C-alpha cells in the first residue's frame, strides 16, 4: 500500500480538530458535523468509509472537515452555545484549504446530526458563504433523510456515487 501523506490540524489540547486527511492532487472534501477521536494512522469507521468512497470515485485523496470542529465522541456533548473562537478558526482553516485547491469538490455528509444544536446550521451557512468565493462543486452521496439532510458516510457502500447537491436550496429549506 502506498504511504499516505497526512494533513492534520488540531488545537494544542486536542479538543478541536480542524483538518484530517491525505494530501493529493484531487481530494474530495467531506463535511461532517464534528470530529471524534480519529487521527492519522488511527481512523475511525466513519473516516475509513470516507476514504473508501473517495478512492472508489476517482479522487486520489480525501480531507475531512467539520461544520463545528469541537471533538465529541457523543454528539450530545457538543457545546450548547457556539464557541466563536473555534468557529472563526475553523473558517480560517477552510478558507486556506479552499484557496489552495483548484475547483474543490465538497461532499455534504453531516446527516441529521445538524439538528443537534441550533447554531450548527448557521455555521454551515458561514462555510457556504466562504466557499462561494471559490469554484466549488457540492455533492452528496447516499439517500437524503426525510427532512432532506445529506447522508452520513458511515454506512455507505464503497461503490456509492456522488450526485449534485444544491446547497442553496438546502439552506433555504433549513430556514436560512
Render pLDDT for 1-38 as a digit per residue (tens, 0 to 9). Answer: 456 799 999 999 999 999 999 999 999 999 999 999 99
- pLDDT above 60 (res 159): yes
Report phi then psi at 85, rounded to 5: -65, -50
- DSSP conformational letter for 20: E
Question: What distance separates the 2 farthest-apart alpha carbons in the chain?
Answer: 45
Report phi then psi at 132, rounded to 5: -65, -20
Give the pLDDT mean for 85-90: 98
- Please state, in angstroms and as integers, the Cα–Cα distance from residue 112 to each residue in 43, 81, 147, 148, 149, following that order: 22, 19, 8, 9, 6
Q: Could you give the CA distance from residue 143 to residue 151 in angstroms, rounded to a whole number?
A: 6
Give the pLDDT mean for 79-97: 98
- pLDDT above 60 (res 136): yes
Q: Could you give the CA distance from residue 102 to residue 107 in angstroms, rounded to a whole number?
A: 15
Grid cell of 38 as nine digits: 480519529
Q: What is the pLDDT of residue 2?
A: 59
Q: What is the pLDDT of residue 176?
A: 87
Residues 6 or more apart in contact with residue 164 via CB below 8 angstroms: 137, 138, 139, 140
pTM, rounded to two decimals: 0.95
**Binning pLDDT at 50, 70 and 90, where does residue 59 land?**
very high
**Backbone CA torsion sign across 100, 106, 111, 117:** positive
Q: What is the pLDDT of residue 96?
A: 98
**Structural domain spans, the chain:** 6-173
Question: What is the chain's mean pLDDT, rounded?
Answer: 95
- DSSP conformational letter for 75: G
Q: Could you give the CA distance from residue 156 to residue 60 in angstroms, rounded to a whole number?
A: 19
Amino acid at each position: 500500500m502506498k504511504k499516505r501523506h497526512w494533513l492534520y490540524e488540531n488545537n494544542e489540547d486536542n479538543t478541536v480538530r480542524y483538518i484530517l486527511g491525505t494530501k493529493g492532487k484531487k481530494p474530495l472534501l467531506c463535511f461532517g458535523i464534528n470530529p471524534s477521536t480519529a487521527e492519522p494512522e488511527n481512523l475511525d469507521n466513519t473516516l475509513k468509509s470516507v476514504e473508501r468512497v473517495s478512492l472508489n470515485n476517482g479522487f486520489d485523496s480525501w480531507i475531512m472537515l467539520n461544520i463545528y470542529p469541537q471533538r465529541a465522541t457523543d454528539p450530545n456533548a457538543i457545546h450548547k452555545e457556539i464557541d466563536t473562537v473555534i468557529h472563526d478558526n475553523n473558517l480560517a482553516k477552510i478558507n486556506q484549504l479552499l484557496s489552495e485547491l483548484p475547483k474543490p469538490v465538497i461532499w455534504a455528509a453531516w446527516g441529521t446530526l445538524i439538528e443537534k444544536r441550533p447554531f450548527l446550521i448557521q455555521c454551515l451557512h458561514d462555510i457556504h458563504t466562504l466557499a462561494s468565493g471559490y469554484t466549488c462543486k457540492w455533492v452528496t452521496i447516499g439517500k437524503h433523510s426525510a427532512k432532506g439532510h445529506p447522508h452520513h458516510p458511515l454506512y455507505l457502500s464503497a461503490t456509492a456515487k456522488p450526485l449534485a447537491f444544491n446547497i442553496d436550496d438546502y439552506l433555504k429549506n433549513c430556514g436560512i
